[in-house]
Chain A
Amino acid sequence: GQNIDQPTEMTATEGAIVQINCTYQTSGFNGLFWYQQHAGEAPTFLSYNVLDGLEEKGRFSSFLSRSKGYSYLLLKELQMKDSASYLCAGLVAAGNKLTFGGGTRVLVKP
């Protein structure tokens, strides 16, 4: 199979940093996406890693290690509006499909 695992929930304080880990089976994926989803809304694109290393975009950074089947999303200077679910998704090489992890609900507290 091509399971993608991420923690169910995380809580952090406004202004702090939170790291959301995502692990997956190494075969069959051609890149790793991170999406943000607020309740009742569609996912919005945050990042895409296809090569090993860290990609930084403002307060959000994403890391990928293909050999370890591991990725993380780093959220810095947390704001209340960052309270949402964060979805890790692998791009399946065959069929160009996305396989989503269960999502991590992040709650930012004052």
Chain B
Amino acid sequence: GAVVSQHPSRVICKSGTSVKIECRSLDFQATTMFWYRQFPKQSLMLMATSNEGSKATYEQGVEKDKFLINHASLTLSTLTVTSAHPEDSSFYICSASWWGGAASNEQFFGPGTRLTVL
């Protein structure tokens, strides 16, 4: 099946620093990758949609200058949380899909990255 990895799985950083999270599709080429954020006991909230070779599309209320997304290849997207603050502490999950996927646009999720900002 389609496998998506994320690195790191956990990260703790000081307030004001930047953190980069990688999302990789291991056995398929992902035309589209999605970035979600999930706070405790809440559901997934879509932050942005990333298509290879083009600028990411951000959801309303998500600061594009704070959450930098790069999708340089069909197997890698990165999310950089710039000048992180404690309120950015969350579970960040990526997913990947490709047009014409077997389950009609099914998204395959990475294992998530737990970010804690001190």
Contacts and interface: CB of A to CB of B under 8 A. Distances in A.
Interface of A: 30-31, 33, 35, 40-45, 48, 50, 87, 91, 95-103
B57 A95 contact: yes
B9 to A, nearest CB: 10
Contacts, number: 53
B104 A31 contact: yes
A45 B49 contact: no
Interface string B89-109: 001010101000001111111
Interface of B: 32, 34, 42-46, 49, 57, 91, 93, 95, 97, 103-112, 114
Contacts of A102: 42-43
Contact of A103 (B43, B95, B97): B43
Nearest to A8: B41
Given A43-B44, A48-B106, A50-B104, A98 B111 contact: no
A96 B32 contact: yes
B37 to A, nearest CB: 11
Given A40-B114, A42-B110, A95-B57, A48 B46 contact: no
Contact of A44 (B32, B103, B109): B109
Contact of B103 (A41, A45, A96, A103): A45
A35 B112 CA distance: 15
